[in-house]
Every structure is written in C-alpha cells, then in structure tokens.
C-alpha cells in the first residue's frame, strides 16, 4: 500500500473543512471525517482512481478525486509508492488557479 502524505496546505484544508462542519454539528463533522478517511483508504488501494488534472484543463501533474462536496487534488509516484495530497477544495471554489 502506498505511503500517504499531505502538503501543509492540504493539512490546513482538511482542518478547515472539519471545523466548518463542526460549527453546525460536531457529530456530522466526525462522520464526515470518517467517510473521508474511508475514501483515502480506497485511494491507497487504487491510487490511479482519480481523473488527471489535464482532463480539467490544469497543466499540472496531478489527479482529482471527488469526495462528496470536496475535491482532493493529489499526485501519485509509482516509483516511490507514494500518494501526496496537494490540496482539498470545496466543489464551489475556483480551484484551478490555486493548485
């Protein structure tokens, strides 16, 4: 199984995502985080499951994985057997210029 690591921005994105949900419902925030972790586990089992960023007119070597109302931007290095989570955006954000 590939190693999974996060950029500092992705760490911050994940924290902001959960804190935002927690404002309305701590229980929903916990459940959302649990579903997120299951999605990341699935990603670790299928690291190429996301669509290429180039398919979304983003000229970066990355992939996009949809998770509920969020987009997980990541790269996969098969040689290093590593998944690197670059950013996590709410689907309403214009993310193309922020990667």
Q: What percent of the chain has pLDDT over 90?
A: 81
What's the pLDDT at 41?
97
Euclidean distance between CA atoms 50 and 74, whole angstroms:
8
Check pLDDT > 80 for residue 33. Answer: yes
| Alpha-carbon torsion, ordered 24, 30, 35, 38, to 10 deg | 160
- Provide the pairing of β-strand 3-6 with 82-90: parallel
Rounded to the nearest integer, the mean pLDDT of the chain is 92
Euclidean distance between CA atoms 13 and 18, whole angstroms:
9
Euclidean distance between CA atoms 41 and 4, whole angstroms:
9
What's the pLDDT at 93?
80
pLDDT digits (tens, 9 = 90+) for 87-99: 999 988 876 666 7
What's the pLDDT at 98?
67
Assigned token pair, 25: 């419902």
User: What is the pLDDT confidence band of residue 11, given thresholds at 50, 70 and 90?
Assistant: very high
What average pLDDT does this structure show over 24-40?
97
What's the pLDDT at 27?
97
- Could you give all domains of the chain from N- to C-terminal order, each with its CATH number? 3-93 (3.30.2310.20)
Check pLDDT > 80 for residue 34. Answer: yes
Give the start-end residues of each E strand in the chain. Answer: 3-6, 51-52, 63-67, 70-77, 82-90
């Amino acid at each position: 199984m590939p190693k999974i690591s996060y950029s500092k921005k992705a760490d911050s994105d994940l924290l902001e995502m959960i804190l935002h949900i927690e404002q309305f419902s701590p229980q929903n925030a916990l459940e959302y985080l649990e579903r997120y972790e299951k999605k990341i586990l699935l990603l670790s089992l299928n690291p190429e499951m996301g669509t290429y960023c180039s398919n979304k007119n983003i000229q970066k070597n990355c992939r996009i994985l949809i998770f509920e109302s969020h987009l997980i931007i990541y790269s996969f290095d098969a040689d290093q057997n590593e998944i690197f989570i670059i950013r996590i955006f709410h689907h309403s954000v214009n993310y193309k210029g922020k990667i």
